């Protein structure tokens, strides 16, 4: 796990070095959610906490970003069940179009062997169009952990942000529609649609962001698990600070 994560970060290091020559920022974020959904799939029905650290550098039309996070699942598990690292390069091609590509390594505890983490490498990329609702296409390819796993999913995202005051208070709405082709699933087709609302509240150097969302499961079963892509509601809050 550690070796593959280090190799991923080493492969991306020229991108980060290029970014560091210009404007650099570090963001620390801690979020709490009432349940854990991953690409629309229910990974944990109870609450979870996720700290994330993001390092970002911008030079010219390029932005390079590296991220690391952990997922702590509360309740019966009461443990860190996931460790992730990912990074990408974003290029502002025109005033209205941006493209990006990256790679990640996601480690799940007890997935293949109790007490051990199993790694899931992934590549992803997409395009952002700066018109009303900012349509964004995200495509990810996961490489097999073992026989029967792996696949691709593509998510179309529409978003809109409404400033509510001059001090940074803002309401954001984000909707997703996902097509899943054997990505942590044994079938193909549209998997879910969702809508999430987030209120960004500046409090000194920290931004507090309460949120609430709802998901419609288009495909509701996978690997014999009922409500795999279920009809869910959730709520949560995050606190972030950029240095």
pLDDT of residue 22: 66
pLDDT at 143: 87
Long-range contacts: 165-172, Cβ < 8 Å, 24+?
Answer: 167/202, 168/200, 168/202, 168/207, 169/199, 169/200, 169/201, 169/202, 170/199, 170/200, 171/197, 171/198, 171/199, 171/200, 172/197, 172/198, 172/199, 172/200
Beta bridge partners of 199: 171
Q: Band of the pLDDT at 11, cuts 50, 70, 90?
A: low
Q: CB–CB of 24/56 below 8 Å?
A: yes
**To the nearest 5 percent, what fractions of the chain are helix, strand and coil?**
10, 65, 30
pLDDT of 146: 53
Q: What is the pLDDT of residues 69-95, one digit of tens each?
A: 999 999 999 999 999 999 999 999 999
> Under a CB-based contact definition with an 8 Å cutoff, are residues 53 and 240 in contact?
no
Which residue ranges form the domains of the chain, and what is each CATH number? 2-242 (2.40.160.40)
């Amino acid at each position: 796990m550690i070796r593959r994560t280090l190799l991923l970060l080493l492969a991306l290091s020229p991108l980060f070095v290029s970014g560091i020559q210009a404007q650099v920022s570090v963001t620390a974020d801690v979020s709490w959610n009432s349940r854990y959904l991953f690409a629309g799939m229910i990974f944990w029905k109870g609450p979870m906490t996720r700290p994330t650290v993001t390092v970002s550098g911008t030079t010219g039309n390029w932005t390079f970003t590296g991220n690391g996070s952990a997922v702590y699942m509360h309740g019966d598990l009461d443990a860190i069940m996931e460790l992730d690292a990912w990074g990408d390069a974003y290029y502002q091609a025109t005033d209205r179009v941006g493209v990006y590509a990256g790679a990640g390594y996601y480690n799940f505890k007890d997935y293949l062997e109790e007490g051990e983490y199993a790694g899931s490498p992934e590549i992803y990329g997409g395009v952002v169009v700066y018109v009303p609702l900012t349509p964004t296409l995200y495509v990810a390819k996961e490489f097999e952990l073992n026989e029967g796993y792996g696949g691709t999913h593509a998510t179309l995202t529409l978003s809109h942000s409404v400033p509510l005051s001059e001090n940074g208070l803002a309401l954001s709405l984000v909707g997703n529609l996902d097509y899943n082709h054997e990505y942590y699933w044994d079938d193909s087709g549209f998997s879910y649609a969702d809508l999430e609302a987030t209120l960004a509240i500046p409090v000194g150097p920290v931004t507090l962001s309460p949120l609430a969302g709802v998901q419609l499961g288009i495909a509701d079963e996978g690997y014999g698990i009922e409500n795999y892509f279920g009809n869910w509601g959730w709520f949560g809050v995050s606190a972030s600070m950029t240095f």
